[in-house]
Structure 1
């Protein structure tokens, strides 16, 4: 299993336990970036595609490759970059057993115990481009139970990136937190079409945007580059718990 490290959000001082995503190396061994214990997480205020990847070395085959920088979305809306041990400082571990059950399945968002209908594991889509972010959000909405989630052939001026029966969703892949206006426009689109509204953002949300979403009942999610959305408000938690 991936090592778990304590993380304290510098913005709201909330404590979290964080375990990085596990992915298979090219050799088939489960691999996760090694956490740098004792290092302080850094809020992400500016995001670039090239800076959000880290070099990780496989302990089985010694292969080095680029992996998404571990990130954590705090419920306060802050997105934190979790420090990783440099490859030069990585400590080798004994080879993993090759017996049955020795390979770990990729980590996924656990389905809450309050839920009544179990889901299969969510399979994320690694985000490298803005289109990848929309694809990851569409896959997640389908996992939640929405049907026929599609991206409009022509991007409307409203900013709606995904639609489905009874659903409108916006995906903000920019390097700036989503604004109050973004949330209100999404809500109005949902109101006009009698559809549920869901928002995904890579850079989190402005404080007033999150407060308005809470009052309007709009689920807010943040996504890291692994393509695994995390809920940041109560409506998002409820959507995960109950599904569609």
Structure 2
């Protein structure tokens, strides 16, 4: 099994409050909990602006050995300061091969992924929940795309492009059309995730273009919005 999250002391450099912080765990595609290893020896940094590279960290699952990108651990201090908690770069050792696991009889069996939604509290949680959904659908190489969409965050995997709208703004017609055009230009499929749903024009365009639409509820579970999403969601059962 993956290692349980470790609590570390965190001091806010602005108000000097002392906190005890444990990084949230996200389920790997193999079903094991994965949490970034926290660095006790480094001080937290204050988040004043965000960049794509700083918002994500590579973490290897201790159970199956897969490496994925997860939201960086952050703490919201009551004084209003957002602290990014430093992560250790030490690799996880002793992990089995990512494509198989060993059963009790000494033979080998394929791992059976289990989908476990992640409670959504922040935009990073919404993006992480969408990435987990894509991994559960068989896209293990999920990462952030280099290009930025008009709104939201674009995730990419082999043969798949996914738009995540992690705010309380419903995804628009432009969002759906830009996603579809991006996927079409790269001969990829596409899917859209939104916290606040979709404008009527966006839903009509998605039905016309064949774009699956999901709403992420606050438990992190993807809820299909159209027929295309229903068909795709069959892979999550």
What TM-score does the superposition give when structure 2 sets the normalisation length? 0.49
Compare relative contact order (CA 8 Å, sep 6+) and give the higher one, 1 or 2: 1
Could you tell me the TM-score, scaled by structure 1's length?
0.48
